[in-house]
Amino acid sequence: MDELVFYDTLRQGLWIATMISTPILIVALLAGITVGLFQALTSIQEMTLTFVPKLVAILIVFWMSMGFMTETLTSFFQDRIIPLIGGL
């Protein structure tokens, strides 16, 4: 395998990982900021208050974007990885 092909495949894989994880990370960030602001304003320092809303938000976004994630990974493997394995 040529180095150029290897690095290009690695670059594409990292870009796809970034695209797939971005919606979940953005929602986790927004939920964390919202809960942190709520805790700062009300002086409530409950640990489950930070964990449960983030978990629920992440699960909802994961469920909503699962089709996009599956399609993206499947097309990457079918278009890029499998031909490399087969030597095409």
Q: For residue 88, what pLDDT is reported?
A: 65
| Residues in the chain, pLDDT under 70 | 1, 88
1 domain residue, yes or no: no
Whether residue 5 is contained in a domain is answered as: no
Supply the range of the domain harboring residue 26.
12-86
Can you give the pTM of this predicted structure?
0.80
Total count of domains within the chain: 1
In a domain, 59, yes or no: yes
Residue 4: inside a domain, yes or no? no
CA 77, CA 85: separation in Å to the nearest integer?
Answer: 10
The token pair that represents 39 in the structure block? 């805790």
2 lies in some domain: no
Q: Is residue 25 part of a domain?
A: yes
